[in-house]
Amino acid sequence: MQNTVYGAAVENEYLDFDSTTTLNTYSDQLVTFNDYEGDPATQFRYRINGVIDTNQGILQNVDAIMTACDSWMQYNATLGKWGVVVNKGEAASYSFNDSNLIGAISIGSIDIAQMPNQIEAKFPDATNRDQSNYVLASVPTFLLYPNEPVNKLTTNYDLVNDSVQALYLANRLMEQSREDLL
């Protein structure tokens, strides 16, 4: 964000460094998974490993970086700064009631044909000289809705070179896209 040649040339005073510290702390937490032999193993939640294409626009490159750590960049008008929003669970921090609601609340359901139940994620595999590899995340059959059609989403994690992280991100994307109320 600060780089004047390849970045957005944003001055320090307009960047929220606390939000990047939050992301770094969250990224350094260990996640548990089963290795190829079925034994429990751990690794850091997120690592960004890849090459930034400087021919792409700054927003495309920032989006690629944020996608690799399941976060997004946003401008906080209250602070007047650009910062990272980490996509993670949080404890409730605000309580809504009749005195602080301004508009109507509407609840709508999502069409099951629009919810992916499979995600194929392409990533450069570090164990194979960064050749393209794929992971497939899918909803277990017993969790599918009755008569739910196969709805496969294909995505790329250009800055993720680890199959565990690619599968972790694909599962998070699929689970969050299957929320049935909006």
The answer to whether residue 170 scores a pLDDT higher than 80 is yes
Comparing CA positions, the residue from 50, 20, 46 lying closest to residue 168 is 46
Could you tell me if 120 and 9 are in contact, meaning their C-beta atoms sit under 8 angstroms apart? Answer: no
What confidence score (pLDDT) does residue 90 get?
81
pLDDT class for 181, splitting at 50, 70, 90?
Answer: low
Structural tokens at position 2 = 């600060």
Q: Quick: pLDDT tens for 11-24.
A: 999 999 999 999 99
Mean pLDDT, rounded, for 90-107: 80
* DSSP 8-state class, residue 13: G
Q: DSSP states of 110-137 as a string?
A: PPGGGS-SEEEEEEEEGGGTTEEEEEEE
Q: Which residue has the higher pLDDT, 148 or 131?
A: 131
The answer to whether residue 28 scores a pLDDT higher than 60 is yes
Mean pLDDT, rounded, for 2-6: 89
